[in-house]
Amino acid sequence: MDREDAKRHRDLPLKTPTDLGQSAVTDVTGALNALLADVFTLYLKTKNFHWHMSGPHFRDYHLLLDEQASQIFAMTDDIAERARKIGGTTLRSVGHIARLQRLSDNDGDFVTPDDMLAELREDNKTLVAILRSAHETASLHNDHATTSLIENWIDETERRLWFLFETTRRS
């Protein structure tokens, strides 16, 4: 790399080459960053409830939430790296997450196990809708790789929703 190439590289240090147009990069990256903020929010809430679970079903619920939190956390790197692969940037701080998140936190000193599971059920239901919206955005720009990833996340989120629904269902 000669000096001129090095200067151009410094001027655009995070500009990953892509065949997607600038509006596609902007729109899809925006959807991915908001999604990432919600996924981090859901991850932390799921771990919070995992750590603060109590009651007669402690072991089952504790293990369920740990499994779900691991699955949610596994999404984070893929989401962020997808944004970078298409030439965007991604979240840089907890403050950035707070500005973009649509799922709400739960800072309660005590939440009953039933309320924990019901809240996570509703959050996962909301996340499915958020994922479908991000899928639509990526589809509009023919970003097939992003839509493919999102389809898998929809399936995983629907599975978590199903487990939480069945766990909270009263016969």
Angstrom distance (rounded) from CA 167 to CA 83: 35
Q: What is the model's pLDDT at position 13?
A: 59
64 closest CA partner among 126, 116, 123:
116
Q: How far apart are CA 158 and CA 153, in angstroms?
A: 8
Q: Over the chain, what is the mean pLDDT?
A: 92
- As a whole number of angstroms, the distance between CA 138 and CA 1 comes to 34
* pLDDT in the model for residue 9: 47
pLDDT higher at 36 or 169? 36
Angle at the Cα of 93 (from 91 to 94), degrees rounded to 5?
115
Task: State phi, psi for 55 to the nearest 5 degrees.
Answer: 105, 180
Average pLDDT for residues 122-134, to the nearest whole number?
A: 98
Are 97 and 91 spatial neighbours (Cβ–Cβ below 8 Å)? yes
Place of tokens 């908001």: 34
Q: Which domain holds residue 76?
A: 20-168
Looking at the structure of the chain, the number of domains it has is: 1
117 Cα distance to chain centroid:
19
pLDDT tier for residue 126 given thresholds of 50, 70 and 90: very high
pLDDT tens-digit map of 69-111: 999 999 999 999 999 999 999 999 999 999 999 999 999 999 9
Whether 13 is covered by a domain: the verdict is no
- The answer to the question of residue 15 being in a domain is no
CATH number of the domain within which 49 lies: 1.20.1260.10
Q: How far is CA 69 from the centre of its chain?
A: 11
